[in-house]
Amino acid sequence: MKLNEIIKSKLTPSQIKWLDDMKITDYSVDDEGFVNVDGTVYILGKDLISIPVKFGYVRGDFNCRHNNLSSLQGAPREVGGNFNCIYNKLTSLQGAPREVGRGFYCQHNNLTSLQGGPKEVGGDFNCRHNNLTSLQGAPTEVGGNFNCIYNKLTSLQGAPREVGRGFYCYNNKFTSLQGGPKEVGGDFNCRHNNLTSLQGAPTEVGGNFYCWNNNLSSLRGAPKEVGGSFYCYNNKFTSEPDHSFINIGGFFEWK
């Protein structure tokens, strides 16, 4: 039996046809039946309701956006590039890759939980515009930006501990920054929430710090170091709040 025939014998005829239809040709199949791809997988906009094969690893990008997926079962266990599943009908990340070399994009779904999502993301992690009430299940470290804006979060518990670039959590419903990241290399933006305190904020922020449009009456708990500017207008300050304990590299704006 030829090598190509041995490979295909581990798949059903309908699975082989599906791979052909999706123009996925540079693949191998391991002993467990996982399809491993040395290049990229682009299956976007195909009206898929499921992924009919089990992907093992994909060396490049895996892009399944703009489908009707309600589950990521069958998605790769490991992706070397970006993983993109935006604009589907996902309520859970069960079945998502455990490791993603670059960015992970799952915004514009119906996610209520990040459980089952990747533990390591080398680039950005974007879960904005979902129905998340918790960040439990988020990666512990994100090399790029972490974006969870426009959800229904009441807490930052479960957020990554370290974020290489910006952390964006505005337009949610939390009253505290407890549980949020301790180190943020870029901007930290928590505007448009219900914060009454900055306790739990990172100790150092490499870029700008935005906390305007909240219910703050003091800046206690604010980062000790802000590399850029500090914006805290539209809060409940009756006079300029004390910020002498914050080393601010740029402007300070409170009104």
Please give the share of the chain, as a percent, with pLDDT higher than 70.
96
Mean pLDDT of the chain: 95
pLDDT score of 3 more than 60:
no
Please give the share of the chain, as a percent, with pLDDT higher than 90.
96
Confidence of residue 122 (pLDDT cuts 50, 70, 90): very high
Q: Give residue 112's pLDDT.
A: 96
Give the pLDDT confidence of 34-79 residue by residue, as tens digits.
Answer: 999 999 999 999 999 999 999 999 999 999 999 999 999 999 999 9
Q: What is the average pLDDT across 7-19? A: 87
Give the pLDDT confidence of 187-222 residue by residue, as tens digits.
Answer: 999 999 999 999 999 999 999 999 999 999 999 999
Strand partners, 36: 28
pLDDT score of 1 more than 80:
no
pLDDT score of 120 more than 60:
yes
pLDDT score of 91 more than 90:
yes
Sequence-distant (≥ 6) Cβ neighbours of residue 17 within 8 angstroms? none
- Distance, in Å, from the CA atom of 48 to the CA atom of 143, rounded to the nearest integer, reads 31
Confidence of residue 7 (pLDDT cuts 50, 70, 90): low
Confidence of residue 2 (pLDDT cuts 50, 70, 90): very low
Confidence of residue 8 (pLDDT cuts 50, 70, 90): low
Give the pLDDT confidence of 163-186 residue by residue, as tens digits.
Answer: 999 999 999 999 999 999 999 999
